[in-house]
């Protein structure tokens, strides 16, 4: 089939790679416009745009896929199908109607669970044991279309959203190629999603990623892992923001008040509503990431210091 692939971040690159290696022809890529990045805030092309340029494929950059110039170019390309992975904008009906097999979205959840922008992060926060990826026929509703296929993935106790997305990006890429094959062969028909089991996963804001030390330790652990690497879990220490990386539950320590700190030569503990957690790496505001014990020595931690 002739394909126009739509995607933007790094997690979409394995799918593009897999399609480039498949029997299908990727004739163009749609991605969001260059965005500022790094300390210099220079405009940088998306990971998908960079990979497509390396492969010599036409790159169409837009955040408004309903604009007439885009619809005209998409019609000229005459794709049979448009696979899409984390593109970052809604696709209007005028664009959905152009390819004869429509648009097929790879979503990183077991639909109808966790419809929305941050399914992996919400699955970790909720304490799910299993998640997965699904391919479905894109329609105007939010992740409501009928499903072509799924793959499942265990959520490990130490998984961050970055770890889990990396595995799902690889297994999902294989699923996306298999879905394209099945659609072309006429052997695959999408199945409507069940009405039960619907849940939503809106994008997490920086405020969502602030640790509440009055919560149970298990919830603190899940929030930090879900927000790593983005948007990044944080707390405040002496009035300044302190970024947190994954912690370890310390069920043997139950005498620390929520947010209270205790440090020895090698460990830094923080209290929660239940047991303590052992801090992993931290990143003070404006400084580099470092192990918590090195940070504690540097700030000369006292018995009255707390995380808020």
Residue ranges at the known binding site for (6S)-5,6,7,8-tetrahydrofolate: 109-112
Neighbours of 297 (CB within 10 A): 13
Sign of the CA dihedral running 191, 192, 198, 199? positive
Instruction: Compute the distance between CA of residue 292 and CA of residue 284 in angstroms, rounded to an integer.
Output: 10
Of 152, 281, 165, nearest to 230 by C-alpha is 165
Distance of CA 152 to the CA centre of its chain: 16
CA distance 5 to 83: 5
Q: Give binding residues as ranges.
A: 109-112
- Residue 207, judged by CB atoms within 10 A of its CB (0-12, 13-18, 19+), counts as exposed
């Amino acid at each position: 089939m002739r394909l126009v692939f739509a995607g933007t971040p790094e997690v979409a690159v394995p799918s593009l790679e897999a399609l480039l290696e498949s029997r299908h022809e990727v004739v163009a890529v749609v991605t969001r416009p260059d965005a500022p990045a790094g300390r210099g805030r220079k405009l940088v092309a998306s990971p998908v745009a960079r990979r497509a340029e390396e492969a010599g494929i036409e790159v169409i950059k837009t955040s408004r896929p309903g604009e007439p110039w885009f619809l005209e170019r998409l019609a000229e390309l005459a794709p049979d199908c448009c696979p899409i992975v984390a593109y970052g904008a809604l696709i209007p009906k005028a664009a959905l109607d152009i390819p004869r097999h429509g648009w097929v979205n790879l979503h990183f959840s077991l639909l109808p669970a966790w419809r929305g922008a941050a399914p992996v992060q919400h699955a970790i926060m909720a304490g799910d044991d299993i998640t997965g990826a699904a391919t479905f026929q894109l329609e105007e509703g939010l992740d409501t279309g009928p499903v072509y296929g799924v793959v499942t993935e265990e959520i490990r106790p130490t998984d961050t959203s970055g770890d889990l997305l990396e595995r799902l990006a690889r297994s999902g890429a294989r699923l996306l190629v298999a879905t394209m094959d099945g659609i072309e062969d006429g052997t695959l028909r999408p199945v409507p999603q069940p009405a039960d089991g619907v849940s939503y996963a809106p994008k997490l804001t920086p405020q969502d990623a602030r640790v509440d030390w009055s919560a149970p330790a298990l919830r603190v652990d899940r929030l930090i892992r879900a927000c790593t690497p983005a948007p990044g879990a944080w707390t405040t220490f002496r009035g300044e923001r302190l970024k947190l990386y994954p912690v370890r539950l310390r069920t043997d320590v139950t005498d620390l008040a929520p947010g209270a700190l205790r440090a020895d030569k090698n460990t830094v503990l923080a209290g929660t509503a239940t047991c303590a957690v052992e801090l992993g790496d931290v990143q003070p505001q404006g400084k580099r990431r470092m192990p918590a014990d090195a940070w504690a020595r540097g700030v000369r931690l006292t018995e009255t210091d707390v995380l808020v």
